[in-house]
A and B are shown apart, each in its own frame.
Chain A
Amino acid sequence: EDQVTQSPEALRLQEGESSSLNCSYTVSGLRGLFWYRQDPGKGPEFLFTLYSAGEEKEKERLKATLTKKESFLHITAPKPEDSATYLCAVQPFSGTYKYIFGTGTRLKVLA
C-alpha cells in the first residue's frame, strides 16, 4: 500500500537554528514528490517537485532533497515567518495523477 509518513509531527526552533524535516514514503513507483507549505486557514502553497533520487531544489532558506525512500526539507537559519505546516505528497505511477499526502510537520520558529 502506498504510504507517506512525515516526522517530526511538530518542531520548535529558535530563529537561526537550522533543522530538517523528514518525509518517508512507500510507493510502487514514484512519479513525483511534492512539498507544500500551509499557513493556518489557507490552502497549501506549492514549494518543490522532486522526481528522482539525488535531485535537489532550493528556494530561499529551504532546500529539498530526495532519495529512493525519503525526502528531506532542510531549513537554514529559519525566521519566524517560516512558521507553518509543511506537507509532503507523493504521486505514484498509477495513471490517475492522484497525490498521497503525509500528515505534515508543524514548524514554529521563535524570535
Chain B
Amino acid sequence: SAVISQKPSRDICQRGTSLTIQCQVDSQVTMMFWYRQQPGQSLTLIATANQGSEATYESGFVIDKFPISRPNLTFSTLTVSNMSPEDSSIYLCSVREGDTQYFGPGTRLTVL
C-alpha cells in the first residue's frame, strides 16, 4: 500500500489565521481525500481531490474555508482558513488504491 506522510504533524494556531497542511504520497494516485476527525468523533469527509480538476466538497464544507490544491499525482495541500476554536481537529489525508482508502498519520490542529 502507498506510504503517506503529512506536514505538520501538529500545530497550535491563533484564531483568525490560516494553516496549510501538506500530504505527500510515495506513488502516483488518482484520488486523494481530506477528512476531519473532531475530538471523540469519527471521520468526516471534507473533499475529494483529483489531479487536474477542482476539488469536490461535501455538504457543510466550502472552498473559501478549506481551499485544496492538487498540483500532481503525489501531492496535495489543504488550507484551513480564518480559523476558529471549532476548527480544532485532526486532519487526515487519504488515498484510494482499488476500493480501499489508506490514511496518513494526520495533523493535529489546536486553535486558541
| In the complex, chain B residues whose CB is within 8 Å of the CB of A43 | 4, 92, 103-106
* Size range of the chain B interface in the assembly: 20 to 34
| In the complex, chain A residues whose CB is within 8 Å of the CB of B108 | 41
If A43-B92, A96-B48, A97-B31 touch, does A102 touch B102 (CB 8 Å cutoff)?
A: no
**Chain B: minimal CB distance from A1 (Å):** 12
| In the complex, chain A residues whose CB is within 8 Å of the CB of B48 | 96-98
Q: Is A83 an interface residue (CB 8 A)?
A: no
Q: Is A22 an interface residue (CB 8 A)?
A: no
Whether A101 and B104, one on each chain, are in contact in the complex, defined by CB atoms closer than 8 angstroms, is no
25 A-B contacts (beta carbon < 8 Å): A32-B100, A34-B100, A34-B101, A41-B106, A43-B92, A43-B105, A44-B43, A44-B103, A45-B103, A46-B1, A46-B101, A46-B102, A46-B103, A49-B99, A87-B42, A87-B43, A89-B43, A89-B101, A97-B31, A97-B96, A98-B45, A98-B58, A99-B101, A101-B44, A102-B42
Q: Interface of A with B (CB < 8 Å)?
A: 31-32, 34, 36, 41-46, 49, 87, 89, 91, 96-99, 101-104
